[in-house]
Structure 1
């Protein structure tokens, strides 16, 4: 191996290398088959299945359908756009002005129509900013632009207080306008939002970008600026802008300035401009659809309003209606015809003439009574739908003629068909098929490098899962022997909140603080440098275990917010000077250790860091890739690594570094931020207690113990790497007593 020059700080990266997306044959086939799926199915796949290689490859197909391929020229309507931030902002501003007039007219509609429009827009409003979910990751940190974006992302999420975040503010605004929706990850979200196919396709684009932000960094910058600067959702609901336009423009200008010194700068600018152009097209397209939708909704007759409600509920009508007849057919047969399609106009004609709608002496009718409290259909229809039925019954009783045109809503379907065809025909040239069992897994350097660049190596996700599970299984041997650890105690104990906090306190005092005594002899320079090198690989991926915790769809637990806030602290909350990845590079540079970035091919050839330490970092990244299925283990691992930043080890390292005039900022940062009083160590314990308290309330005490075992093996998996001497001792056969020579 040969030494390579390190990458310079600050990291002015504007894009990562264009690499192929590698997948095994089964994944390639499965992802290709999904190209013809309905947009709602793709939406749910991208949102709810974030751990499979198929989802990453599907995201690539979706982006290919919406964005120009690398070999294609920029869209013709972007030809007048220059590459300065002011010019881009001016163009976006002009479109915002156009859309503001259209949105203003939408807001002038009657309350019921405005509510329907806002409901239709809700899937996009509640996705806002998702493209930044994992823009901060091992492959991209500590890029200056990534830190800028991450700082804004953290603020959009409420800076550790979700109720202050954009998502919750938008949800409250929707509710103020009468739109009540379940969480976006729920199975019936799109149904409850009554989302048209075009709305669903636009949402799929944003979700797809959120799955591959490192590979599409220029596009993320462009989409982020254009979406927030246009601010359609804020215009529609009358909410203030999420971020000041001046700040967004400053970030854009900074990025464009960096492209001028980048070898890929011209291409990066083209990609950014193409993304801006796409957003302008999509937002114009969607506002135009909302305008058409508002006109359709406002023009609905009472018959048409009821027909839409019937169509919406018909798929859920069960056998309980088999005794009810409308005309000559049972209700069950109307809603489950042999042809597979409900004849809505015929049903509405018969319903109008049915005894269920015949006015009674009190002015009501059998049907309206059935949907009120005490009736057999109470609770099926919400207040808005019940009001529509009442208005319709009154119009029928008044003798109003039936509506001859009950055609279903088709607003936006023409444009939706264009995107459907684009996805069906997408064939990205950068998708390559690789063997189902890669041959490079025995090489930890290569495996680590590919896990850092996981967006381009989805085929390795099953193998990362295997490595994580193997490390967790091996670590359980410390359930028996862990008390003998020097820095940790992973020995098993039955969980209670009190027992966990007692164990944490005991580890802190008995293992980390009380044994500390200042060093009387300081190792020589080479030994100190070598010691720092043994920690460096883990430090270069600081915070990685939690980088996917804050993704959209994973913010319903308080523990998610707390753990994501810890990750944000590790990344400096967008402040480059406080970013731990920046700091560790500065520390290494003070020792004349200059490393390539871990994402770069050159890192494979560096000869500064020992080979035998890659397993620890591979385990950490592997855990991070499965924030749903290995959530409990991540919570335990987080406790272990945050406590490790305290006490004897850190204080000794500071002594040694000071003696040789090396940078001590990384050690000092952890000694401070990880404190047991209120810092990450205490927060990590509180996260576990809070999470298990929720488990107890939702699933009972037996579930708590199952979850606890998984959490504690996550802690043990950290201890397993730290306590290598103890592990070696456990695995070394001890001589029998009879064989000892006295």
Structure 2
């Protein structure tokens, strides 16, 4: 779940493929597989509803909380496995744009905390089981969750970190999940808690508003990939679908067994004792329980809690059937008791239910509390990483390698060093240089400054209106040399496609910007494709951006790759360089609005070329409701959060980094600046 995570090659992809092939359903057409998944989902939903129907309210509440928590690892990340399927190298591919439209729908693009996972978070909060849900990665430390509940999301997220290896399988598994719809176990949660959230947002098959449903978007994305890649992709999509359905069946069966067992209060009591036994065994050496120290019982309790529960039920601490008269939940845990605050209020509810369920005078060992069989682990052994690999030999090779999400340790280390060096140059002479951003940030925010800058751009354009426009040859040359940069529009913020960033208060607008740059899922609005249309009008036919031939094309000067490689490098580290990315994003979105784009329009129009590319940027980047405004707001939100979480003392350092990022769009290039870059690389290496 780390947005800067990379999973190694080595044995890992082969082991994932082995896992995908394990326990497969029979093959069939996509329509047959989808119907099979829908039929299974309907049957299982009915089974869960029948389970909870005859239960008393207290037991129903227990099962609802357990089901909601068990579904959290998958449902909090609903759609996250699509997070890296788009990249700077394929951002103009219609099939990828279709996938991106599906992912944007899951995120509720345009608003903070609008993802399907965020809709589910409301359920967990209402039920009081959300303490480890933000960020969702903390769920891995929640002792209430069996390892098996992580099986499906763990593999999906692992595949998402190697999208070049597993795109068809990811889409197949995703289509299966949407064919299933709302997880069967969640049907009982929705029945008991129908108003705690908008359940249609939690359901991955359902539409958001009046748009296409999640199932329709997923099917469209699969069909576009099949049209592009043919029969091999069809087989691999089927593999992903059938693995997901088999895994869902196994997990759902185990969850149903768990809920059936939890109907017996002794089951939850046994879980509680097992989870607390290790800590408790350090104490209680002098407290006897049926002739043995309680500490000895607790040590055994870590593997089998039933004998201790039997002894405890026969002790003076418990009055069977009468929790209100039992020392275990009264005197011992009172303010003056020896176990004050050892148990949480939720723990005490578990103990009370168990005591209340005990029959008459206790004489035997309770039958409940047996543990479920361990869940089958993922078949992933110790990962054998590939060798570090080769570092890029030059900027052109780095450009080509960094276009994809997956990389090698050597390429990633190179990108980190390049970023540190570029930022070192950008910091050089900052105090003496003319810097548009103010020296200090204030809670008033950047919107007033933004409007002032827009006025300056406009004034500069008006004052230079009479200046001679470039010749046709100069215009064509500058357009061509900008192609390595412009055809990867949005690359500096590609790290914010990560699920939790893309719907966060700070970065949701960065994903929205990325979504706009790539045309909101439509090829006709895709900025790289629009730029290629202008190049075609100029008689320039470039190789595909993702090809090695593009990076090696002799019409480009080497210097034309310097800034694009910086974008591609810093975009890989959305957390490490968040302040710098926010500053760079503001500089980028504001750079042409009101002035440069207007002048470029005049030049393009003069020689009969389409002005659509600069026109669309001058509107979508506007300072009132466009990308420039969003960029300023993201910085304001980030710095406000810094002040709240770390205090005013951290604000100056964060603002200095934002200013560095802003300047990094056009850093100094002199000898001393280059020296500063080398020092920054050395310093970063020592820090690591």
**TM-score if structure 1 supplies the norm length?**
0.79
**376-385 or 682-691: bigger deviation:** 376-385
The SS at the match of 1:548 is helix
Partners in 2 of 1:367 and 1:128 — Cα distance? Answer: 40
Corresponding residue of 1:17: none
Deviation at 1:674, TM superposition (A): 1.2
Q: 2:589 aligns with which of 636, 642, 648?
A: 642
Structure 1: gaps spanning 5 or more residues: 1-46, 69-73, 484-488, 721-725, 734-742
Q: 1:574 to 1:697 in 2, by over 3 A?
A: same
Corresponding residue of 1:223: 173
Corresponding residue of 1:403: 365
**225-234 or 695-704: bigger deviation:** 225-234
Q: 1:492 to 1:169 in 2, by over 3 A?
A: closer
* CA offsets 1:416-460 (integer angstroms, 9 cap, x no match): 14x3xx322988xxx85354xx25x23111111111124143441
Corresponding residue of 2:194: none
Corresponding residue of 1:464: 415
The SS at the match of 1:198 is helix
Q: 1:332 to 1:56 in 2, by over 3 A?
A: farther
Please say if 1:352 is aligned against 2:313.
yes
Corresponding residue of 1:493: 439
Q: 1:322 to 1:154 in 2, by over 3 A?
A: farther
Please say if 1:453 is aligned against 2:400.
no
Partners in 2 of 1:94 and 1:51 — Cα distance? Answer: 39
* CA offsets 1:289-319 (integer angstroms, 9 cap, x no match): 1222222222x3x444322111123345486
Deviation at 1:653, TM superposition (A): 0.9
Q: 1:527 aligns with which of 449, 469, 474?
A: 474
Please say if 1:196 is aligned against 2:146.
yes
Corresponding residue of 1:541: 488
Q: 1:94 to 1:499 in 2, by over 3 A?
A: closer
Partners in 1 of 2:575 and 2:17 — Cα distance? Answer: 27
Please give the root-mean-square deviation of Cα atoms over the aligned residues, in Å.
3.5
Check whether the contact 1:344–1:406 (CA below 8 A) recurs between aligned residues. no
Q: 1:104 to 1:426 in 2, by over 3 A?
A: farther
Deviation at 1:650, TM superposition (A): 1.3
Q: 1:385 aligns with which of 323, 335, 347?
A: 347
Check whether the contact 2:273–2:301 (CA below 8 A) recurs between aligned residues. no
Q: 1:608 to 1:254 in 2, by over 3 A?
A: farther
Please show how residues 480-519 of structure 1 align to structure 2 within 5 Å: 480-483=431-434, 489=435, 493-498=439-444, 504-510=450-456, 513-516=459-462, 517-519=464-466
Q: 1:67 to 1:732 in 2, by over 3 A?
A: closer
Check whether the contact 1:512–1:648 (CA below 8 A) recurs between aligned residues. yes
Corresponding residue of 2:682: none
Corresponding residue of 1:51: 4
Check whether the contact 1:120–1:193 (CA below 8 A) recurs between aligned residues. no
Please show how residues 293-304 of structure 1 align to structure 2 within 5 Å: 293-298=258-263, 300=264, 302-304=265-267
Please say if 1:64 is aligned against 2:24.
no
Deviation at 1:174, TM superposition (A): 4.0
**202-211 or 348-357: bigger deviation:** 348-357
Partners in 2 of 1:237 and 1:362 — Cα distance? Answer: 30
**86-95 or 318-327: bigger deviation:** 318-327
Deviation at 1:532, TM superposition (A): 1.1
The SS at the match of 1:67 is helix
Corresponding residue of 1:612: 559
Please say if 1:658 is aligned against 2:609.
no
Check whether the contact 1:118–1:236 (CA below 8 A) recurs between aligned residues. no
Check whether the contact 1:548–1:625 (CA below 8 A) recurs between aligned residues. yes
Q: 1:331 to 1:683 in 2, by over 3 A?
A: farther
Deviation at 1:619, TM superposition (A): 0.9
Q: 1:333 to 1:404 in 2, by over 3 A?
A: closer
Q: 2:80 aligns with which of 121, 130, 134?
A: 130
Q: 2:333 aligns with which of 359, 371, 374?
A: 371
Deviation at 1:406, TM superposition (A): 6.0
Q: 1:281 to 1:527 in 2, by over 3 A?
A: same
Corresponding residue of 2:100: 150
Partners in 2 of 1:710 and 1:549 — Cα distance? Answer: 18
Partners in 1 of 2:292 and 2:23 — Cα distance? Answer: 55
Check whether the contact 2:542–2:550 (CA below 8 A) recurs between aligned residues. yes
Check whether the contact 2:115–2:503 (CA below 8 A) recurs between aligned residues. no
Please show how residues 94-133 of structure 1 align to structure 2 within 5 Å: 94-106=39-51, 108=53, 110=55, 111=60, 112-133=62-83
The SS at the match of 2:506 is helix
Corresponding residue of 1:26: none
The SS at the match of 1:403 is coil
Partners in 1 of 2:418 and 2:544 — Cα distance? Answer: 23
Please say if 1:433 is aligned against 2:380.
no
Q: 1:698 to 1:258 in 2, by over 3 A?
A: closer
Corresponding residue of 1:573: 520
* CA offsets 1:467-498 (integer angstroms, 9 cap, x no match): 11111111111413431xxxxx3677233245
Deviation at 1:213, TM superposition (A): 2.6
Partners in 1 of 2:251 and 2:414 — Cα distance? Answer: 41
Deviation at 1:180, TM superposition (A): 3.4
Deviation at 1:404, TM superposition (A): 4.9
Q: 2:91 aligns with which of 141, 144, 167?
A: 141
Please say if 1:282 is aligned against 2:247.
yes
**172-181 or 576-585: bigger deviation:** 172-181
Please say if 1:267 is aligned against 2:232.
yes
Partners in 2 of 1:94 and 1:586 — Cα distance? Answer: 47
**470-479 or 544-553: bigger deviation:** 544-553
Deviation at 1:168, TM superposition (A): 2.1
Partners in 2 of 1:578 and 1:140 — Cα distance? Answer: 15
* CA offsets 1:681-730 (integer angstroms, 9 cap, x no match): 1221221122111111111111111222222211121231xxxxx64498
Partners in 1 of 2:407 and 2:158 — Cα distance? Answer: 14
Q: 1:232 to 1:216 in 2, by over 3 A?
A: same
**TM-score if structure 2 supplies the norm length?**
0.84
Q: 1:94 to 1:508 in 2, by over 3 A?
A: same
Partners in 1 of 2:325 and 2:285 — Cα distance? Answer: 27
Deviation at 1:230, TM superposition (A): 0.8
Check whether the contact 2:586–2:632 (CA below 8 A) recurs between aligned residues. yes
The SS at the match of 2:496 is coil
Q: 1:340 to 1:119 in 2, by over 3 A?
A: closer
Q: 1:687 aligns with which of 601, 624, 634?
A: 634
Corresponding residue of 1:182: 132
Q: 1:491 to 1:255 in 2, by over 3 A?
A: closer
Partners in 1 of 2:108 and 2:417 — Cα distance? Answer: 35
Q: 1:175 to 1:57 in 2, by over 3 A?
A: farther
Q: 1:362 to 1:160 in 2, by over 3 A?
A: closer
Partners in 1 of 2:34 and 2:445 — Cα distance? Answer: 57
